[in-house]
Amino acid sequence: MGLYKEPFGVKLDFESGVIENAKKLVRKLSDMKGYYVDVEAYEALLKENPVVYEVYAIEQEEKDGDLNFATTVLHPGKVGNEFFMTKGHYHAKADRAEVYFALKGKGGMLLQTPEGEARWVPMEPGTIVYVPPYWAHRTVNTGHEPFIFLALYPADAGHDYGTIKEKGFSKIVVEKDGEVVIEDNPRWAE
Ligand code: S6P
Ligand code: ZN
């Protein structure tokens, strides 16, 4: 049996997004310094330091051919007029693709090529998003309840957070007069 890993099934709770026996990661606002455009609003909200998202991951060794999966529970909220979002990343092995499946709540995915060409894909329960090789991806909660989704990705994909941490995405997702608006990131050109 040395060659063969043991198959398993795990339970995902659709209401809470929790996967049993998964590794839990918590991202609070304080983990996201520099990610939001409105620095004053960020500093003000830091006094409460809310949890922005939780990730429940079942991960394998970083080997080619294997698969990881994880749910993300992205909480509702805004920093200034910019919706709560994940950090966003390229894959360390940049040509690795990924699939997302939306389970609960309302939001979308911002994707971007290394040249800064951006796309917005709205997501609601039942939406499956294909993340092609080389595209950075970030999810955004545009609703009033937790936005929950499942992601499936190659075990050797890894994460490259540095590029996005430095420059962000070329677009930001904000609320204007009650509408969800995708607009140019004022900091992108700097
Ligand atoms: C992993 C996958 C997701 C994210 C999660 C948190 O490849 O894309 O599980 O890790 O949504 O986002 P981030 O950008 O902080 O990793
Ligand atoms: Zn990814």
Pair of tokens at residue 58: 């079942």
Q: What percent of the chain has pLDDT over 90?
A: 96
Helix (H) or strand (E) holding 44: helix 39-45
Please name the residue whose Cα sits nearest to atom 11 of ligand 1: 72
Instruction: Tell me which CATH homologous superfamily contains domain 23-184.
Output: Jelly Rolls (2.60.120.10)
CB contact at 8 A, 169 and 138: yes
Determine if the pTM surpasses 0.85.
yes
- How far is the centre of ligand 2, averaged over its atoms, from the C-alpha of 78 (Å)? 23
> How high is the mean pLDDT in each 10-residue block of the chain (190 residues)?
90 98 98 97 98 98 97 98 98 98 98 97 98 98 98 98 94 97 89
Domain boundaries, the chain: 23-184
Rg (CA), the chain: 17
Q: What is the pLDDT of residue 77?
A: 98
Q: What is the pLDDT of residue 98?
A: 98
DSSP state at residue 14: T
Cα–Cα–Cα angle for 86, 91, 94, rounded to 5 degrees: 145
Ligand nearest to the CA of 90: 2
